[in-house]
Amino acid sequence: MNVRSDGESSGAPLGGTIGLGAGLEVHRLGFGAMRLTGPGIMGPPADREEAARVLRRVVDAGVTLIDTADAYGPHHNEELIAEVLAPYPDALVVATKGGLLRGPDGSWDNNGRPEHLRAACEGSLRRLRVDTIDLYQLHWPDPEVPFEDSVGALAELRDEGKVRLIGLSNVDLSQYRTATAMTPVASVQNKYHLRDRDHEDVLRACEADGVAFLPYAPLAGFGFTSGTGALAAVAEAHGATPSQVALAWLLARSPVMAPIPGTSSLAHLEENLAAADLELSDQDLERLDAVNAKVAQLLAKVSRPLPPAARQRLRDAAGPLRRVWERL
């Protein structure tokens, strides 16, 4: 993978470009299509025409990476993308994921069995109307299936020409190391944003290896709408919104960072796209880097240590997050 020198500046068009491998190069500011579904990420979008307008604007604006998954809808998200955008522009990479199932109640259930991943991939091929999926990602490691078996299934799909590049999602450092020892990996998609850097070690490993890091839910932290503390101050100094600063911080954080903010709103999409033109100073970055330390201090004050899942729920419930999340 290569990163152009202009990709190191958030002032480059859409954050500059990053190479994924196999001759594929994308702009670093991508688009996550998950929100173009119904409530709870179930069913089709309430306003299909508005969702179509968002997708068309994404492409018209020069975004070249759209991320989806068979579990979004389920299936509706992939079908919508194909209906609106196929046949796809040559520069566009549509990445999808397999390995999660949706229950009737909206639950998310793991299934990393090789036979399921094969069937899921073939279903995505049909829905996306392509012969080869540019980037196919394991959505979540299945604790009931050896991780090596799931990764091996993706490698087989690539060798058969059904997948061009392999990506991982929601992996820890050990799993990342296991996968990269087995097969080339083009990308890792983990949750990461200004106030949640639990996967810093995975990011740095990707940076060392030249692997793209796609932080999902990049605005799913508290305070990104109204802004608080350093975030609000930096936003005010630049005449920007707090969410734009949060995205610009991600682009400046690492040359392999490729955020995929999502939205079902054209206005919010335009706001996100403008973040790529925001150049933060070293002083800005220092102030923002310190934000995470303050969050960690607050969590440390909890009298009883919390397991990771509970810590995440605490983060997700803090501040105006629920309102932010509905806008993503």
Is 65:26 a contact under the CB 8 Å cutoff?
yes
50 CB burial (10 A radius; 0-12, 13-18, 19+): middle
Spatial separation of the C-alpha atoms in residues 58 and 37, rounded to whole Å: 16
Residues labelled as active-site residues:
72
The residues, any chain, with a CB within 8 Å of residue 217's CB and separated by 6 or more, are 191, 193, 328
Is 85:55 a contact under the CB 8 Å cutoff?
yes
Q: Going edge to edge, which strands form the sheet with 93-98? A: 31-32, 65-67, 93-98, 133-138, 163-169, 187-189, 212-213
From 63, 131, 129, 74, select the one nearest 98 (Cα to Cα): 74
